[in-house]
Amino acid sequence: MPTVGLFVPCFVDQLQPRVGVATLRLLQRHGVKVEFPPEQTCCGQPMANSGCRAEAAPLAERFLRIFSRYDHVVAPSGSCVSMVRHHYDGFLAGRDGFDRLKANTFELCEYLHDVVGVREAGARFPRVVGLHRACHGLRELRLGSGSERRVPPFDKVKTLLDSVEGIRVVEPARPDECCGFGGTFAVNEEAVSCMMGKDKLADLAQAGAEVVTSADGSCLMHLEGLARRAGSKLEFMHVAEVLLGER
Amino acid sequence: MAGIERRGEGGHGPEGGHGGRGAFAGHPAAAARFVADDARAHWHDQALWWVRQKRDKASADVPEWERLRELAQAIKGHTLSRLADYLAEFERNATAAGARVHWARDAAEHNAVVHAILAERGVTRLVKSKSMLTEECGLNPYLEARGIEVVDTDLGERIVQLREEPPSHIVFPAIHLKRQDIGVTFHEKLGTAEGASDPKYLTEAARGHLRQRFLGAQAGMTGVNFAVADTGAFVVCTNEGNADMGTSLPPIHIACMGLEKIVPRVEDLGVFLRLLARSATGQPVTTYSTHFLGPRRDGELHVVIVDNGRSGLLRSQALRRSLACIRCGACMNTCPVFRRTGGYSYGVAVPGPIGSILAPARDPRAHATLPFASSLCGSCSDVCPVRIDIHSELLVLRGQVVEAGGLPAGKRLAMRLAGWIFRSPGRYALAGRLARWALRALPRRVLYSKANAWGRQRELPAPPGETFRDWYRRTTGRA
């Protein structure tokens, strides 16, 4: 029985702890043994995405040191997992245990779908849920086929959501347009970031969503911030919370 | 030399005929100005999204689409690995067919070569079909300053030329304009009826106007979409036939190409021509795909092959794939930032995702904001017909901007501080506690001060009572 090292991204730990709790409970429900190594902090993505490679490098080192003792590493964020899998090469290539770490670090839905083999969520959530496909999960981890490529369609996140009892999953008309969060982009390019987010919210509302969900909480933080300011009644839940179902 | 390069790029920036839009202060400021006109920004977004959807449909009609993309990537990768050989082969074959091949190291040499050809033959009236390379080199103002009339004959390019604006998109140069805007321009410049904005009427007027310019031209200039090494021929793709008109009437044809335009064999066109129009406009093929081999009878054909920084890009292992670009514009049409901020917000001749590689790759400090003008969503990389990993190259360039000292000091400091905090779990916990306390305790006017870009249009997240790690410790007793 493999042991999963739970990687809770810094903003989830600090601002969305309920997402971490739901992730832990969801993994446990599907029979996974999970540990949370408390010395973890941040994967270094904010620095790496800002081009500050010197600041990201020691965080990549820490990550390798902390998580290489686990069989698998799972995180409720496609973006942070993509950092490890696709962007740590520049810092850690050739290091002991790095190839193994890279191959065994998974986004939550990907882990449930591909490794645990979950096809029935075993949960009930009788709401209309609008799916926001977060970009790095979609286009870097290939959690779904995406609208650009001409490959047979698939979507691991939606497959899991569709198995939830009572749920109705709706999609925006632009099925995988970026919401405009983009890390530091959200403040560097505040004007266009917010326009993208408002457009995404309008598209989701048009689709009839009551609850917006995503495999990346950072997109939700941005969208929820815009919705709250506008006085919208939309609710925002991470996909881990939806897959856990009604409490 | 640098002065001329600046002129080429600057046509869109500080020095340039931008209709009094003010100095170029980087992408975020220009983007904010464009976004401020919400209705127009949404109209621009919809117009280009419509093109993206046409591209989706056209590519879906080709069952082997992804295979074609892989082939195109492989052919370009191979060609770039032996670029000098293929360029020499092209020169040999083109010369044998009667063309004269010229080499230009940079924009200044390119402009001088073209001017010399025209001046030696007493040409004062030139018609030109679309060439982003000549935009990059700032050719029009260079020739105009030397007494040569240059008429852009692509309809969109003619529209922006009449308005003394640069193109805002490499495939749709006037995509930023509504037909009413064009009606006003044509009324002023071509004498169409005041208030007329019927597209057919305006197009007829442009057609009549351009026909006179074609008939009076002494030389015609085109770009090059593909130059074929094994035959010495090259292909020019247009939808309006303006390249054909401009090369059929005057006896002199000058074709300008970046040195990356080579494909090894004529068969390779079977890959690229199928990808180009579908990616660019959603058409199965451009209306005219004209092959030129040697000069017409009693005419002259000149081919100017331009480096202008391309060989530098070729030397960069991390960025060289961007040289495979076939200038289809698909990355612009799909980019959620480009669609909402317009081509001028980039301040360079080739804007959008690919332009945000090409310009900063040459000078990261001068174009420091461009690699950051992206949410790194990756849609560009997935629509790119030659599979350039555009968003990953943008990330590489962000690193180069930082190394070149191009990140504002405040941001650099913030990242240093964050890095220092995240290196220690103790500092991380303390900083987190402080931040959550601030979110709870500080008055709204402090939290949402001018310095808080997040909070201009967004609420800050509500701080939870405990972190995940606190909860974990409390409930499991571990750690």
pLDDT by residue (tens digit) across B138-190? 999 999 999 999 999 999 999 999 999 999 999 999 999 999 999 999 999 99
A189–chain B Cβ distance below 8 A for any pair: yes
- Chain-centroid distance of CA B341 in Å reads 14
pLDDT value, residue B478:
73
pLDDT value, residue B1:
29
Q: Give me the residue from A21, A40, A135 closest to B471, CB to CB.
A: A21
How many CB atoms are closer than 10 A to CB A120? 10
What are A189's two structure tokens? 């390019």
d(CA B46, nearest CA chain A) in Å: 11
- Tell me the per-residue pLDDT of A31-47, one tens digit each, with 9 for 90 and over: 999 999 999 999 999 99
How many CB atoms are closer than 10 A to CB B468? 25
Q: Is residue B268 part of a domain?
A: yes
Range of the domain at B142: 33-311
What's B124's domain CATH number?
3.40.50.10420
Q: Rounded to an integer, what distance in angstroms lies between the CA atom of residue A83 and that of residue A73?
A: 13
What are B420's two structure tokens? 């220092």
Closest CA to A82 of A49, A128, A123, A130: A49
Residue B179 · residue B199 · CB < 8 Å: yes
Contact yes or no for B416 and A52 at CB 8 A: yes
pLDDT value, residue B206:
97
Q: Give me the residue from A16, A41, A51 closest to B402, CB to CB.
A: A51
pLDDT value, residue B24:
84
Q: Is residue B342 part of a domain?
A: no
Positive or negative: CA dihedral B309, B313, B319, B323? positive
d(CA B337, nearest CA chain A) in Å: 7
Q: Is residue B353 part of a domain?
A: no
Residue B262: in which H helix or E strand, if any?
A: strand B262-263
Q: Consecutive 10-residue runs of chain B (479 residues): their mean pLDDT?
A: 32 34 82 98 98 98 98 98 98 98 98 98 97 97 98 98 97 97 98 97 97 97 98 97 96 98 98 98 97 96 98 96 98 98 97 97 95 98 98 97 95 96 98 96 96 97 96 88
- Which pTM was predicted? 0.95
Contact yes or no for B466 and A50 at CB 8 A: no
* Same domain, yes or no: B285 and B141: yes
Closest CA to A191 of B453, B43, B445: B453
Contact partners, residue A173, CB within 8 Å, separation at least 6: A203, A206, A207
Number of alpha helices (DSSP H) and beta strands (DSSP E) in chain A: 14, 8
Q: Is residue B320 part of a domain?
A: no
Q: 């063309």: which residue's tokens? A: B99
pLDDT value, residue B3:
31
Please list every residue in chain B whose beta carbon sits closer than 8 Å to the beta carbon of residue A16.
461, 464
* Same domain, yes or no: B95 and B211: yes
Return the biggest CA–CA distance within chain B: 91
Contact yes or no for B375 and A196 at CB 8 A: yes
User: Beta strands B149-152 and B125-128: pairing type?
Assistant: parallel
Q: Give contacts of A 112-151 with B, CB under 8 A.
A: 135-136, 138-140, 146-151
What are A148's two structure tokens? 């650009």
Domain closes at, from B311, B330, B350: B311
pLDDT value, residue B479:
60
Q: Rounded to an integer, what distance in angstroms lies between the CA atom of residue B209 and that of residue A171?
A: 48
pLDDT value, residue B14:
30
Please list every residue in chain B whose beta carbon sits closer than 8 Å to the beta carbon of residue A139.
377-379, 381-382
- Tell me the per-residue pLDDT of B296-309, one tens digit each, with 9 for 90 and over: 999 999 999 999 99
- Tell me the per-residue pLDDT of A143-174, one tens digit each, with 9 for 90 and over: 999 999 999 999 999 999 999 999 999 999 99
The per-residue DSSP string of B269-304 comes to HHHHHHHHHHHHTS-SS-SEEEEE-SPPTT-EEEEE
Q: Is residue B158 part of a domain?
A: yes
Q: Is residue B234 part of a domain?
A: yes
What B274-278 contacts at long range (C-beta under 8 Å, 24+ apart), as own/partner pairs, is: B274/B62, B274/B68, B275/B68, B275/B69, B275/B72, B275/B326, B275/B328, B275/B385, B275/B386, B276/B225, B276/B237, B276/B326, B276/B328, B276/B385, B277/B58, B277/B237, B278/B55, B278/B58, B278/B59, B278/B62, B278/B385
Domain closes at, from B283, B311, B339: B311
* Same domain, yes or no: B279 and B420: no
d(CA B243, nearest CA chain A) in Å: 31
Per-residue pLDDT averaged across A226-240, rounded?
Answer: 98
pLDDT value, residue B10:
35
Contact yes or no for A17 and B425 at CB 8 A: no
Is pLDDT above 90 for A138? Answer: yes
Number of domains in chain B: 2
Q: Is residue B335 part of a domain?
A: no
> What is the three-state SS of A214-228?
ECEHHHHHHHHHHHH
Q: Which residue of B has its CA nearest to A151?
A: B66
Closest CA to B224 of B294, B304, B159, B296: B304
* Same domain, yes or no: B426 and B287: no
In total, the C-beta contacts within 8 angstroms joining chain A to chain B are 220
Is pLDDT above 60 for A185? Answer: yes
Contact yes or no for B466 and A17 at CB 8 A: yes
Q: Give me the residue from B42, B377, B471 closest to A139, CB to CB.
A: B377
Contact yes or no for B395 and A140 at CB 8 A: no
pLDDT value, residue B9:
36
pLDDT value, residue B8:
35
- Tell me the per-residue pLDDT of A74-123, one tens digit each, with 9 for 90 and over: 999 999 999 999 999 999 999 999 999 999 999 999 999 999 999 999 99
Please list every residue in chain A whose beta carbon sits closer than 8 Å to the beta carbon of residue B59.
150
Q: Rounded to an integer, what distance in angstroms lies between the CA atom of residue B378 and that of residue B33?
A: 25
Q: Rounded to an integer, what distance in angstroms lies between the CA atom of residue A141 and that of residue A85?
A: 8
Domain closes at, from B311, B342, B362: B311
pLDDT value, residue B477:
83
Q: Give me the residue from B395, B412, B461 closest to A49, CB to CB.
A: B395
Return the biggest CA–CA distance within chain A: 51
Residue B197 burial class via C-beta count within 10 angstroms: exposed 0-12, middle 13-18, buried 19 and up = middle
Q: Give me the residue from A13, A42, A221 closest to B461, CB to CB.
A: A221
